[in-house]
């Protein structure tokens, strides 16, 4: 539920699903079309985050003896970012997106998923860091990879629901979602602070750094 992606979703869904051509078919078929588009976009998410998961998990296993300290450090960063979100600050980084989507069809939907994934990292940096921490701390290439796949599927689930809702109800759902977005930031801030505290607590009191406090 990132603000960068949400800004471009309505126009994209209108172009792909809720266009004049789709107006002539039943609501049931429009929803089915929305589900299919959402699933193909999700494949784009998986392509990007599986690749990132493989890289981070591979290098994470190479830094095994430093993982605990890296995780604790990222946990502190996540807490700070969560506090900033609660204070209604905008957190983003500039990432060049090389993907340009043109045309229609499922390949275009797949490429949109790739482009959306890259754009999402710029606005969901705290959440992304949490996933990176999970991959590093897992100590296993497969477990680290699955952390990124789970992240991609989480994004995909929201995308399928959102695109299907727009397909059925047009822009009514967009209006309601825009009103709810400020609350998403606050909820994200609280979740991030809790997650950061848990990461630090785990490493220093339950994990490999626990002997320091014994």
Per-domain residue ranges of the chain: 3-11+26-205
pLDDT top residue among 9 and 201: 201
Alpha carbon separation from 53 to 7, 15, 80, 131 (Å, rounded): 26, 31, 24, 9
Maximum mean pLDDT: which of 53-62, 102-111, 145-154, 178-187: 145-154
φ, ψ dihedrals at 164, nearest 5°: -65, -40
Reported pTM: 0.65
Confidence of residue 15 (pLDDT cuts 50, 70, 90): low
Instruction: Look over the chain and give the mean of its residue pLDDT values, rounded to a whole number.
Output: 75
Cα separation of the two ends of the chain: 41
Q: What is the mean pLDDT of residues 53-66?
A: 72
Please name the residue that has the structure tokens 């970012």. 81
> What residues have CB less than 8 Å from 104, skipping those under 6 apart?
15, 16
Q: Are 163 and 36 in contact (CB under 8 A)?
A: no
Please name the residue that has the structure tokens 């979740």. 191
Nearest-angstrom CA–CA distance, 18 and 32: 12
Secondary structure class of 26 (helix, strand, coil): coil
* Ramachandran category for residue 19: left, alpha or beta (phi over 0 → left; psi -120 to 50 → alpha): beta
Residue pLDDT, tens place only, 162-203? 888 777 765 566 666 667 667 777 787 888 888 888 878 877
Please name the residue that has the structure tokens 């266009």. 19
Q: What is the mean pLDDT of residues 111-120?
A: 82
Residue pLDDT, tens place only, 33-58? 888 888 998 999 999 999 988 887 77
Number of Cβ atoms within 10 Å of the Cβ of 81: 22
Nearest-angstrom CA–CA distance, 39 and 160: 6
Please tell me the least confidently modeled range out of 29-43, 50-64, 76-90: 50-64
Q: Are 83 and 116 in contact (CB under 8 A)?
A: no
Maximum mean pLDDT: which of 26-30, 48-52, 56-60, 77-81: 48-52
């Amino acid at each position: 539920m990132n603000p960068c992606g949400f800004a471009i979703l309505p126009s994209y869904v209108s172009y792909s699903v809720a266009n004049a051509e789709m107006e002539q078919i039943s609501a049931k078929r429009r929803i089915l079309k929305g589900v299919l588009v959402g699933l193909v976009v999700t494949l784009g998410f998986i392509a990007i985050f599986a690749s990132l998961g493989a890289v981070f998990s591979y290098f994470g296993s190479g830094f095994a003896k430093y993982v605990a300290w890296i995780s604790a450090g990222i946990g502190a960063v996540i807490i700070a970012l969560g506090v900033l979100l609660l204070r209604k600050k905008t957190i983003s980084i500039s990432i060049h997106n090389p993907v340009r989507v043109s045309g229609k069809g499922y390949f275009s939907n797949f490429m949109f998923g790739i482009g959306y994934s890259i754009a999402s990292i710029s606005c969901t940096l705290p959440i992304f860091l949490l996933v990176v921490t999970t991959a590093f701390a897992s100590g296993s290439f497969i477990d680290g990879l699955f952390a990124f796949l789970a992240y991609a599927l989480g994004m995909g689930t929201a995308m399928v629901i959102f695109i299907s809702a727009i397909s059925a109800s047009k822009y009514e759902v967009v209006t309601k979602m825009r009103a709810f977005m400020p609350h998403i930031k606050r909820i994200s801030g609280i979740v991030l602070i809790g997650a950061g505290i848990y990461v630090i607590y785990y490493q220093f009191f339950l994990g490999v750094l626990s002997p320091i406090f014994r």
